[in-house]
Amino acid sequence: MMRMSGEAVIRPGAARAYIDRQGENWDRHARHELHKLRTIMRALDLHAGQRVLDVACGTGVLFPWLLSRDPQLLMGIDISEAMTEKARAMHQDRRLRVVTADYFNMEAGNFDRIIVYNAYTCFPDREKFVQKTLRLLMPGGRFVVAHNAGRESVNAAPEVWGCGVPLQSADEECGWFEPFFDVDVLIDNKDLYLISGVKH
């Protein structure tokens, strides 16, 4: 199985710089089709009272969907202050906490669900990403990695070349997760890319 960390191609600070530059107009250009979001939420399988982490949350496009499932805690984390400031302004809820931080610097965990939406390509060190996700999830917890476009479209997007590495096929990418998770959802078509599994 082909695996690549991509460390050689990432530029320090490129992800933060790119996202900060786009922050003002991010939502204006983003397209989030409802049927795709419903598919992603079904894969996440979030239940009332659970703790969920939205990694690289941006301005919080998933927050209404996640909060509708009545979690005990929804934490959104993003490295961009521009994004998190906008997220805080747009979404107020007692269950919501928005943090400006690097995912890899998080120490506290115990999440039931972790989702990364439209941002997996900004984590070029796949092994490091999987290990951090493993540490932050409770046993039996579920992760979802999703892009609301097909792999070819994602790989042609500027954020890939600005701060990450291209997506491999879902079969190839899930090889990073399989030693530690039961991967039970793979979608890799022209409209949607999704990998999800449960921690052993």
- Number of domains within the chain: 1
pLDDT, tens digit, 9 for 90 and up, residues 85-121:
999 999 999 999 999 999 999 987 899 999 999 999 9
Domain-located, residue 152: yes
For the whole model, what pTM was predicted?
0.86
pLDDT at 127 over 70: yes
Domain-located, residue 43: yes
CATH of the domain at 141: 3.40.50.150
Name the DSSP class of 134: H
In a 13 Å sphere around the CA of 107, the CA atoms on its Cβ side amount to: 0
Name the one residue in this structure whose structure tokens are 């598919």: 39
Question: What pLDDT is recorded for position 46?
Answer: 98
**Residue numbers of the domain that contains 60:** 14-199
In the chain, the N- to C-terminal Cα span, in Å, equals 21
